Structure 1
Amino acid sequence: MPSLHDVATWQPLLRLLRAAHADTLAEPGGHVSGQISPGAWSVPLPYRPPQPGRASLVSDNQDQFDAVGLVVDALKEDGSDGVSFVVEASSTPGGVRLHLIDASSSAEPGIATAHPGTLLLADGALPEPVRRLPDPVPDAVPAESADVELLQRTLRERLPDAVGATEEEIAAAEARLGVPLPPELKALYQVVRGRHEDWDDLRGPYDIIGCELFPLGEVYVADAASRDVLWRFGAMEAVETGPEDSVQQLVGSPGWIVFGDNGGGDRVAVDLTPGPDGHVGQVIIIGHEGNIGAGLVADSLTDMVVHRHFDGRPVPRVERPPLVAHVNHVAIPSIEAAAHPGLEVLSIGVWKKEPVSLAPVFGLPRLRTLSAYPGALADPCEISRLTHLEYLNLPPAEWRVLLDAGAVPTGLLAAGIDAHQQRDNPLHVMALANELLALYGRPPITGITVLEGAAA
């Protein structure tokens, strides 16, 4: 089998790219780029729709699937998680120059793009929401509805054939987790241990318990590390838990003990670190599509299993200045309107007026993230006045201004280069990224393999 770095592996895909982008690849500096991994790919090729009246078939775009498939096979053969690529015209008539870019320890992976992901400017640094631990709530107690005996009795009545976990199995789970099982959760597993082989019909325990129960050996603590939040997302969030909240809106907590799933990928957990209006041992749901927060399911396991409560409780709406402010032509109308002492994240989006000054947010003690759309800032060098920034996301032109002026903030933990997927050449963006990494004494992005081949 041809290897990943053999031009023969790429030639079918190069032919398709050359045909689809003939004008672009004929221009000086013209390029196309993409990313391929064993499970997904982003390749700039036109999609052929199905014939009217029938569903799309693989055969409608078979040549694309076959061409990408050769690269995927080579990735699997090499044990690689993926590769980014840039295609440029070469001096050889009808030929192209292919740049293959390996992953780097100095950057998070890009998402569906060949551009480098977030630059990691400090070893082991994490976004502030990921670092946040739960606040103590010393007055929190179990809900009045929590009743271990009623819960066990009801489960035995509704699941008479259930097999419970032994004391040894429960002790082993607690040792692995590093915390005792909460009383109601322990009572549940004493009645039903959750193994699939114990049931002919898995709907039985689901319908009775209200979720897909994990086997005891798969119960885990949903701390912040379990959520795997990328910098580009985590830095744009803020942890905000008000006195009216029953659940602390964290990325994760050492007190979230996951024991099930709702069948759609959202995790169901017992919460031992509730919000100010919550209860110790309440049941929460942790969404798989979000980066932060969880919702209340029921005040207790008894409340969920016995009384069939699944919708939590209404939370009163409380208006507060936003910790995350989106300034653009349809949301917050100005920097002045966004500024307040608690502001943590400022995102300046599409802006149809004159470029803005950052002066209204100078000196804000909690402003840690700034993201700005191309051309939105009147003077990018004003960024140097924002002394608490941890994450800065800018287009290449704005980064160029800061670098040339020696005005890149010195306290950043991570940086994003907001490049256009096809207009900005990833090789040029990578050179810019390496300048930023050098300022912070970080290893450069390397691992570029150049292949020449015919694409006619």
Structure 2
Amino acid sequence: MVEQAAHRMAERIAANAPEDWTRAVFSGHAGSGGSGITGGYTLHGAHVPGGRPDLHPLLRELAEAVRDDRGWDPVAWEMECLPSGEYRLVTFTGAVSRVPEYGGGYEIVLDPDHRLPQPGLRQEGSTAAPAGDPELAATRFRAYLERRAAILGHSEELPPPVTAAALDEAERRIGRPLPADLRALYLIADGDGIEYRHRYLIGNYGWLPLEGLVAECTEWRDWQDRPWHGWDLEWDAVVFDTTPADTVRRCGDHPGWIRFATGEDGNFLAVDMDPARDGRPGQVILTGRDYDEGPEYVADSVTSLLQEHLELLEQGSYEKYDDRISLNEPAGDPGTRQIIGGIPDEVPPTLQAIHINDAAGTVDLTPLTAAPGLRCLHLNRSTTADLTPVRGLPVESLRVTLDGGDLAPLAGHPHLASLSLDTTAPVDLTPLRTAPNLHGLDLSGAETSDLAVLAGLSGLRYLALTRRQWATLCDRREVPPALAAVRLAGDDVTFEEALALALRLGLGTGSALRVTGSL
């Protein structure tokens, strides 16, 4: 029962309260995937740091009770308790959830199925021919196995090959062709695993059997095209380019990436059958858990990768552990892609992201023009007065505090996708009307001359405002027409305020579950 779970939560909160407390407010989420909690106690009007009670076991009870009662999983919740013993619990679906980090407040998801397009989908595709050669790949693979056998003192047992018909059927099931050189390897052996024990032949990764390759393609695609970490993280996320540039599409994952070898840690070697302009079909990349910010280019083909493996063995660049060989593959050098801190005296041309933190004085952004591939520019607790240098850079994610100056340099900016803007004086938003790819905007720290401009941003999908700003926009009926998620910003906003805003934006909240009681 939800009422019983709420009563036990209130008891735990009261029992852990400091002396002379005047109020306690906690909020978070709970469900089959776990629970989270934020908030605290107030003492004579001031927030008391720390002292948060362990509510997680009780949140599991709450989640189960709400799931039984309403079918929601996960649920968002907020509980207020007073020293008098009175308490109030509000729960709703995960469509309205607390955002404990940057700017605080509540996130409201209006369209749970909407996903922001990945920048790589807009990239020009390759027209080049594959670099792989099936006959050469087979020859190199056999030579590679012979060299390994000489080092180990015996041949390595491998699964029997698959048939050409099996390869054709696999391609039908995944909906894409395999590169000819990878097909050639499967006609020699069906991966490198015997009873789940891999030989780690390719790039020190476990080469998957053909059925495993198909399963990785079909099961992953059936789940989703790429990991989605929630709007609070995704609305201004950036995907890095590879080295060499424009070889692999700038995506967290892509249906054209066929995973054929596993690191058994959530990372994979894949053949890329839909490369960017300067890539080659069948090129080998690294993708998976550790590559949300972009894949890593490995080789132009399986054929070339096998040649690299042969050369490493010939050079003695490997380690032998009992019955296993581990190649000492040289680390790639993409140059400095990200800087956290200040702008260095010499800006590396390979820079793609910079986070300028706590800068003294007004930051001059001019030196960043030396980084022609800069995609992410975040000024954190730092100010600038001139955005002109941004005009000629491919910046997609911009977080800035303007101390004077204006947004004119952003007019027509072809790359700008997200903007988090703080200001020290009112600023005109009109230049944003002509930024064609702007999909996310946070104005909760900005003074603006006219919020009506937002009504004309038809491509805007995410918007963060304060309660006052939202009231103005809603009262004037100037809400952007295609929002998929919003944030009611502010550390002091309540769940009830978030539910009220959600209702004004068209999300039905009448089923919200409210429980009141007294200890």
Using structure 2 for the length normalisation, give the TM-score.
0.67
Return the alpha-carbon distance in structure 2 between the equivalents of residues 428 and 23 of structure 1.
29
1:414 to 1:63, Cα distance in 2 relative to 1, 3 A = closer
1:344 to 1:375, Cα distance in 2 relative to 1, 3 A = closer
Return the alpha-carbon distance in structure 1 between the equivalents of residues 20 and 449 of structure 2.
32
Deviation at residue 138 of structure 1 after TM alignment: 1.3
User: Aligned letter for 1:82?
Assistant: P
Deviation at residue 445 of structure 1 after TM alignment: 3.2
> What corresponds to 2:247 in structure 1?
246
Indicate if the aligned counterparts of 2:161 and 2:187 stay in contact, CA closer than 8 A. Answer: yes
Deviation at residue 255 of structure 1 after TM alignment: 1.9
User: Aligned letter for 2:171?
Assistant: E
User: Aligned letter for 2:499?
Assistant: M
Indicate if the aligned counterparts of 2:27 and 2:98 stay in contact, CA closer than 8 A. Answer: no
Q: State which drifts further: 300-309 or 331-340.
A: 331-340
Corresponding position: 1:83 with 2:147: no
- The 5 A counterparts of 1:342-353 are 342-351=414-423, 353=424
Corresponding position: 1:379 with 2:450: yes
Return the alpha-carbon distance in structure 2 between the equivalents of residues 267 and 192 of structure 1.
19
> What corresponds to 1:440 in structure 2?
none
> What corresponds to 2:256 in structure 1?
255
Return the alpha-carbon distance in structure 2 between the equivalents of residues 12 and 71 of structure 1.
10
Identity %: 23
Indicate if the aligned counterparts of 2:88 and 2:516 stay in contact, CA closer than 8 A. Answer: yes
Corresponding position: 1:335 with 2:407: yes
1:234 to 1:65, Cα distance in 2 relative to 1, 3 A = closer
SS of the aligned residue for 2:225 comes to helix
- The 5 A counterparts of 1:183-198 are 183-194=180-191, 197-198=194-195
User: Aligned letter for 2:496?
Assistant: L
Indicate if the aligned counterparts of 1:163 and 1:198 stay in contact, CA closer than 8 A. Answer: no
- Give the count of matched residue pairs: 420
Return the alpha-carbon distance in structure 2 between the equivalents of residues 324 and 19 of structure 1.
49
Deviation at residue 283 of structure 1 after TM alignment: 0.9
- Equivalent position to 2:30, from 28, 32, 36: 36
1:248 to 1:331, Cα distance in 2 relative to 1, 3 A = farther
Indicate if the aligned counterparts of 2:411 and 2:433 stay in contact, CA closer than 8 A. Answer: no
Superposition RMSD on alpha carbons, in Å? 4.2
CA-to-aligned-CA distance 1:381-412 (integer Å, 9 cap, x gap):
332344543433333332221111221122x2
Return the alpha-carbon distance in structure 2 between the equivalents of residues 429 and 217 of structure 1.
48
Corresponding position: 1:181 with 2:182: no
CA-to-aligned-CA distance 1:55-90 (integer Å, 9 cap, x gap):
xxxxx9996454345446657878863222121348
- The 5 A counterparts of 1:409-420 are 409-410=480-481, 412-420=482-490
Deviation at residue 171 of structure 1 after TM alignment: 3.8
Q: State which drifts further: 446-455 or 63-72.
A: 63-72
User: Aligned letter for 1:428?
Assistant: E
CA-to-aligned-CA distance 1:234-258 (integer Å, 9 cap, x gap):
4435678799422121344332111
Corresponding position: 1:132 with 2:131: no
Return the alpha-carbon distance in structure 2 between the equivalents of residues 111 and 44 of structure 1.
9
> What corresponds to 1:213 in structure 2?
207
> What corresponds to 1:50 in structure 2?
none
> What corresponds to 1:53 in structure 2?
none
Indicate if the aligned counterparts of 2:238 and 2:397 stay in contact, CA closer than 8 A. Answer: no
CA-to-aligned-CA distance 1:143-168 (integer Å, 9 cap, x gap):
58993223431454346301034225
Indicate if the aligned counterparts of 2:206 and 2:263 stay in contact, CA closer than 8 A. Answer: yes
1:426 to 1:213, Cα distance in 2 relative to 1, 3 A = farther
Q: State which drifts further: 286-295 or 325-334.
A: 325-334
Return the alpha-carbon distance in structure 2 between the equivalents of residues 164 and 384 of structure 1.
63
- The 5 A counterparts of 1:278-293 are 278-288=279-289, 291=292, 293=294
Return the alpha-carbon distance in structure 2 between the equivalents of residues 11 and 69 of structure 1.
14
Deviation at residue 95 of structure 1 after TM alignment: 2.8
SS of the aligned residue for 2:80 comes to strand
Indicate if the aligned counterparts of 2:133 and 2:181 stay in contact, CA closer than 8 A. Answer: no
SS of the aligned residue for 1:373 comes to strand
1:445 to 1:184, Cα distance in 2 relative to 1, 3 A = farther
1:140 to 1:111, Cα distance in 2 relative to 1, 3 A = farther
CA-to-aligned-CA distance 1:257-303 (integer Å, 9 cap, x gap):
11233343233210112222222211111242565532202222233
> What corresponds to 1:12 in structure 2?
8
Deviation at residue 342 of structure 1 after TM alignment: 0.8
Using structure 1 for the length normalisation, give the TM-score.
0.75
1:262 to 1:108, Cα distance in 2 relative to 1, 3 A = farther
Higher relative contact order (CA 8 A, sep 6+): 1
Corresponding position: 1:428 with 2:497: yes
1:306 to 1:363, Cα distance in 2 relative to 1, 3 A = closer
Return the alpha-carbon distance in structure 1 between the equivalents of residues 246 and 171 of structure 2.
29
Deviation at residue 101 of structure 1 after TM alignment: 1.5
Return the alpha-carbon distance in structure 1 between the equivalents of residues 186 and 22 of structure 2.
66
Return the alpha-carbon distance in structure 2 between the equivalents of residues 145 and 246 of structure 1.
22
Indicate if the aligned counterparts of 1:165 and 1:190 stay in contact, CA closer than 8 A. Answer: yes
Indicate if the aligned counterparts of 1:95 and 1:453 stay in contact, CA closer than 8 A. Answer: yes
Deviation at residue 327 of structure 1 after TM alignment: 3.9
